[in-house]
């Protein structure tokens, strides 16, 4: 490698219908259970990676949303670049990385999923490293478990697996199979005080974790069936139950994780009220954060969005349908 090599990738965030929470093997980021998600077309991360063996810098540089990133964030990215260089079988040159999110990061909208999916594809491409989708999914998983799913478009399942090669994601249905809408009710844009990566290590301390894991084979089957038949009335109860079960595990871990804010609970109560009193077909799910994702079909989206914006504590409403998997693009960030 004798010249500067640069590439840019764009990856959609994803919203998990059956959640990933807790690790079976922290060194490989192997999960305790399978998970299923929808890759989002309109909430995404763009990342440019430049490898430069002639750089006078002795370390990587990282910018996130226009600001220099240091500390644990930069170290996490550098560790991932180490993995890419190791796969390429090269001595590790320094890298310049710039990443931009078009949505609030680290607040429960799966920014690490899109970030490490984009980083994996851009870093590999910049080295001329040709990896198939299985290898890319395994690579992205080591940076952030949910990133293994953002490699693919549409509706995706991440297999728990038993080792590095088998714990990978694969598509269930393409993006154009079902035009679901994810309306994200943003109640906070602040970064979480406890990251998802740290929270995963606490799942086993909850007395409820074993029960949640034991219930998931049935829930996974229900979600697969609902997606195949485009049945929101079947999908909705399953995703709500698992979101509540995951947060129950968080709340009863040691130490306890309580991501919800008053507006979070107000939205959950409102969604149930809208369904019961108005027949509005909408269901909620929540990732590791205070913001609430409302899942509905296009015909209900305007009514749901309008009602959300009238609730106290809702700062903004983001909207996305299903989108494509991670792709290389020409527009570099530097």
Which band of pLDDT confidence, cut at 50, 70 and 90, is reported for residue 193? confident
Residue 51 CA from chain centroid, whole number: 26
For the entire predicted model, the pTM comes to 0.96
Which band of pLDDT confidence, cut at 50, 70 and 90, is reported for residue 85? very high
With tokens 């490989």, the residue in question is 28
Spatial separation of the C-alpha atoms in residues 196 and 4, rounded to whole Å = 34
Q: Which domains does the chain have, with CATH numbers?
A: 5-176 (3.30.230.10), 181-320 (3.30.70.890)
| Whole-number pLDDT of residue 284 | 98
| Whole-number pLDDT of residue 277 | 98
The answer on pLDDT for 1 being more than 60 is no
Spatial separation of the C-alpha atoms in residues 139 and 80, rounded to whole Å = 8
Question: Contact at 8 Å (CB) between 41 and 322?
Answer: yes
Question: Average pLDDT for residues 53-57, to the nearest whole number?
Answer: 81
pLDDT tens readout for residues 271-296: 999 999 999 999 999 999 999 999 99
The answer on pLDDT for 317 being more than 80 is yes
Q: How many residues does the chain have?
A: 334
The answer on pLDDT for 197 being more than 90 is no
Task: Using DSSP bridges, classify how beta strands 61-64 and 95-101 pair: parallel, antiparallel or unpaired.
Answer: parallel
Spatial separation of the C-alpha atoms in residues 81 and 215, rounded to whole Å = 37
The answer on pLDDT for 108 being more than 80 is no
Question: Contact at 8 Å (CB) between 147 and 27?
Answer: no
Burial 78-96 (b: 16+ CB within 10 A, else e): bebbebbbebbeeeebbbb
Average pLDDT, the chain: 95
Please compute, for residue 234, the number of CA atoms within 13 A of its CA located in the half-sphere on the CB side: 14
The answer on pLDDT for 2 being more than 50 is no
The answer on pLDDT for 246 being more than 90 is yes
Cα dihedral 202, 204, 210, 213 in deg (nearest 10):
60
From the number of C-beta atoms within 10 Å of its C-beta (0-12, 13-18, 19+), residue 230 rates as middle
Spatial separation of the C-alpha atoms in residues 223 and 36, rounded to whole Å = 8
The answer on pLDDT for 53 being more than 90 is no
Which residue blocks in the chain are alpha helix, DSSP H?
71-88, 111-126, 133-143, 147-150, 196-200, 209-229, 232-251, 262-278, 298-309
């Amino acid at each position: 490698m004798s010249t500067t090599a640069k590439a840019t990738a764009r990856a959609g965030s994803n919203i998990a219908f059956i959640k990933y929470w807790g690790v079976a093997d922290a060194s490989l980021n192997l999960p305790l259970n399978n998970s299923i998600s929808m890759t989002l077309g309109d909430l995404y991360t763009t990342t440019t990676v430049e490898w430069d063996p002639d750089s006078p810098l002795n370390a990587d540089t990282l910018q996130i949303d226009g600001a220099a990133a240091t500390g644990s964030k930069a170290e996490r990215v550098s560790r991932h670049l180490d993995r890419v260089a190791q796969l390429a079988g090269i001595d590790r040159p320094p890298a310049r990385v710039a990443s931009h999110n078009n949505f609030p990061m680290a607040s429960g909208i799966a920014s690490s999923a899109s970030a490490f999916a984009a980083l994996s594809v851009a870093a590999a491409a910049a080295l001329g490293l040709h990896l198939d989708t299985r290898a890319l999914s395994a690579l992205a998983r080591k940076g952030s478990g949910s990133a293994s799913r953002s490699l693919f478009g549409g509706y995706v399942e991440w297999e728990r697996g038993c080792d590095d090669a088998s714990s990978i994601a694969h598509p269930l249905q393409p993006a154009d199979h079902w035009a679901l809408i994810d309306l994200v009710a943003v109640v906070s844009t602040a970064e979480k005080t406890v990251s998802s990566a740290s929270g995963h290590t606490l799942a086993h301390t909850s007395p409820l974790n074993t029960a949640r894991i034991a219930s998931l084979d049935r829930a996974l089957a229900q979600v697969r069936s609902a997606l195949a038949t485009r049945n929101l009335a079947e999908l909705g109860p399953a995703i709500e139950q698992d979101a509540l079960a995951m947060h129950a595990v968080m709340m009863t871990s040691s130490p306890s994780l309580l991501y919800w804010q008053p507006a979070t609970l107000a939205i959950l109560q409102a969604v149930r009220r809208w369904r019961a009193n108005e027949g509005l077909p909408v269901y909620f799910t929540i990732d590791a954060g205070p913001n609430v994702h409302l899942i509905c079909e296009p015909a209900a989206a305007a009514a749901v969005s309008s009602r959300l914006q009238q609730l106290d504590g809702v700062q903004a409403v983001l909207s996305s349908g299903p989108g494509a998997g991670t792709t290389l693009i020409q527009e570099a960030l530097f």
